[in-house]
Amino acid sequence: MAEYEDRYWTSSDGLRLHFRAYEGDISRPPVLCLPGLTRNARDFEDLATRLAGDWRVLCPEMRGRGDSDYAKDPMTYQPMQYLQDLEALLAQEGIERFVAIGTSLGGLLTMLLAAANPARIAAAVLNDVGPEVSPEGLERIRGYVGQGRNFETWMHAARALQESSGDVYPDWDITQWLRYAKRIMVLGSSGRIAFDYDMKIAEPFEAPAGATPQVDMWPLFDALATRPLLVLRGETSDILSAQTAAKMASRPGVELVTLPRIGHAPTLDEPESIAAIGRLLERV
């Protein structure tokens, strides 16, 4: 596992936000890895390890996740605030051009970053998300976000994840479920294992379509699609439909890779994902 430095930046409302920084070739644009709604920097540890050295990699944790401060106002858990937070990180680090790799919510943020200034996007990966989000997937996410379950042991946590998400990763063995649990959960001060995010992120999400900005996302995608772009889709995804993915792939310069027997979302550790990301970076 490549070494990284735990670093921090400050939001406009005074939160101390955390990111992992992996060193790499400073002559290349850095890689910015943006996680999904309830996720954190650990999602990208294998990817960052593979890229580190050749690429500088930054893995920020949004407010309310991982080692970032929880928001005082839960209604700031929404995409335009996350965008503002990321702009502050880019300003602090002096980053004018970067490769964005965004999973789910992170992909929506990638499109928002592109819309604000497409020239700064050197290339991008949208992992199982697009300008149209399937309502079935949103309802499923609303059903589990903020539930606050906790577990006595890592094995209990892994078994619970296997039970609830076995259809997403049907080929995983218990070792993979344990590894997954340690990416998305943390051992708390109570001695119980719990999800590593503020349960209050569910509050704005519970509003109608609260998880996505209330705008037509296709113009944002088209701003991004002027750059080298990879779209990854889980074959059984309930967030990114095959129809939307095909429409995205019809834009010039867009590569679509569909991962068999995987739902929402690919982990980016699959051989097909690794190869496709490698091809994208060769275009930078």
Going by their DSSP bridges, the two strands 5-10 and 193-195 should be labelled as unpaired
| Annotated binding-site residue? 245 | no
The candidate with the shortest Cα–Cα distance to 125, out of 4, 33, 15, is: 33
From CA 105, how far away is CA 119, in angstroms rounded?
Answer: 21
Look-up of token digits 């999800």: 195
Estimate the crossing angle of helix 154-165 against helix 174-184, to 10 degrees: 100
Retrieve residue 154's tokens.
């890592």
| Start-end of H helices in the chain | 45-51, 79-93, 105-116, 135-144, 154-165, 174-184, 202-205, 218-224, 242-249, 271-282
What is the strand order of the sheet 193-195 is part of?
Answer: 150-151, 193-195, 185-187
For residue 245, how many C-alpha atoms fall within 13 Å in the half-sphere facing its CB? 24
Element (H, E) at 150: strand 150-151
Element (H, E) at 98: strand 98-103
Retrieve residue 180's tokens.
């997954």
| Annotated binding-site residue? 74 | no
- Could you give the angle at the alpha carbon of 147 between the alpha carbons of 199 and 101, nearest 5°? 60
β-partners of residue 233 are 258
8 C-beta neighbours (distance < 10 Å), count: 15
Annotated binding-site residue numbers: 204, 207
Annotated binding-site residue numbers for Ca(2+): 204, 207
